[in-house]
Amino acid sequence: MSDKSERRAARKARQSKGRSSRFGMSFVFSLLILAVMLAVVTAGSGVVELLHRLFEITRKIPDVVWLILVSIFLGSVISMLLSHWFLGPIMKLSDAMSKVSGGDFSIRLDTDKGFREVRRIYGDFNTMTQELGATEILQTDFVSNVSHEFKTPITAIEGYATLLQGGAPMSEEQSEYVEKILFNTRRLSSLVGNILLLSKVDNQKIRPSSSTYSLDEQIRQTILALEPRWTERGTEFDVELDSVEYTGSEALMQHVWLNLIENAIKFGPRGGTVRISLGRRDGRIVFAVEDEGPGIPPEAQKHVFDRFYQTDSSHREEGNGLGLALVKQIVLLAGGTVSVENLPERGCRFTVELPEVIKKS
């Protein structure tokens, strides 16, 4: 029998057991209510009689009033104790569900203690987390394996297309076809690379070695690396970078600056200006990049960091909708935040805030 079949059989057994004992908790609860009522009335009467014996002045107040007051007090105390007893398992389940919503599928609850109904619910919860964990592993492995397998044939196609370009003379139509092959294989290669990196960052399989380096110099090198892009579009730069020493993953942060600056170039007008700044504010490292493009609609801003989401269909063929999702995951992994806002006149601003981990000289 497979693991999945075994889990289904165990779940059905628990459900059947739960149905056969569906009156267990309600019966106990009913008995407790009756017991509490009797205890409150009996204890209340006893306490009132004791007060009358100890303090003669208490006889001036009707016994009914004293009985009500004492009963309210005793009832409140007993209710608090019973609430803790009954609500404790619910709070425990709530805490466990919060961990699951945060992506921790390894959490398990004890099914050997408590009421039968609670044990059944805990058992179903454990089955759910087990299934979710197995699904996550399957999905992660599938994405990683398939994406990795795609890289080899894509690289081979790109290599052969490049050889065709440098080989025998071709007609204009043939050259156009080769250019399209190269363009699309590079897009696929970029997509596969982003999927692999995003999958690793998501599951924190990357344990990047931290190093202390010049963040402002890294951003300058990124701008230079994008020279073909901004030269072709005639983009100007207004750059203000403070000297910042940062301790973190140099390779991962490179993806952040590359994506944000390239987007500013792509979505800004030809001959426009991209403004880039880096500095410190309130104990944080703050990077901002602004373009002069049309901006992002307010509704689209809610989804701009979602995977495969692209706000501008005119640039759809230039990207794959994973760049900003990757930016967000890397920044979160570094303990920072990334946000977007439209500028008053035109364009938008992306802001990255990182914890100020600086090596003092």
For 257-267, the pLDDT digits (tens) are: 998 999 999 88
DSSP for 300-347 reads HHTTTTSTT--S-GGGGGG--S-HHHHHHHHHHHTT-EEEEEE-SSS-
| Low-confidence spans in the chain with pLDDT less than 50 | 1, 15-23, 205-206, 313-317, 358-361
For 44-87, the pLDDT digits (tens) are: 667 666 766 777 666 666 766 666 666 677 667 766 766 666 66
Task: Provide the residue type at 198 as one letter.
Answer: L
Interatomic CA distance for residues 76 and 90, integer angstroms: 20
Considering the domain 211-355, what is its CATH architecture?
2-Layer Sandwich (3.30)
**C-alpha 226, offset from chain centre:** 30
Q: Taking the model in full, what pTM does it have?
A: 0.53
Whether residue 293 contacts residue 272, with contact meaning beta carbons closer than 8 Å, is answered with yes
Instruction: Quote the tokens at residue 34.
Output: 């009756």
What integer pLDDT is reported at residue 238 of this predicted model?
93
What are the two backbone dihedrals, phi and then psi, of residue 308, each rounded to the nearest 5 degrees?
65, 15
Interatomic CA distance for residues 53 and 50, integer angstroms: 5
Beta-carbon contacts of residue 193 (< 8 Å; ≥ 6 apart)? 151
What integer pLDDT is reported at residue 142 of this predicted model?
62
Q: If you search the block for the tokens 């982003």, which residue do you land on?
A: 194
Q: If you search the block for the tokens 């009707």, which residue do you land on?
A: 62
Interatomic CA distance for residues 325 and 194, integer angstroms: 10
What integer pLDDT is reported at residue 51 of this predicted model?
67
DSSP for 63-102 reads HHHHHHHHHHHHHHHHHHHHHHHHHHHHHHHHHHHHHHHT
Hey, CA dihedral for 259, 262, 264, 267, is it positive or negative?
negative
Beta-carbon contacts of residue 233 (< 8 Å; ≥ 6 apart)? 265, 268, 270, 271
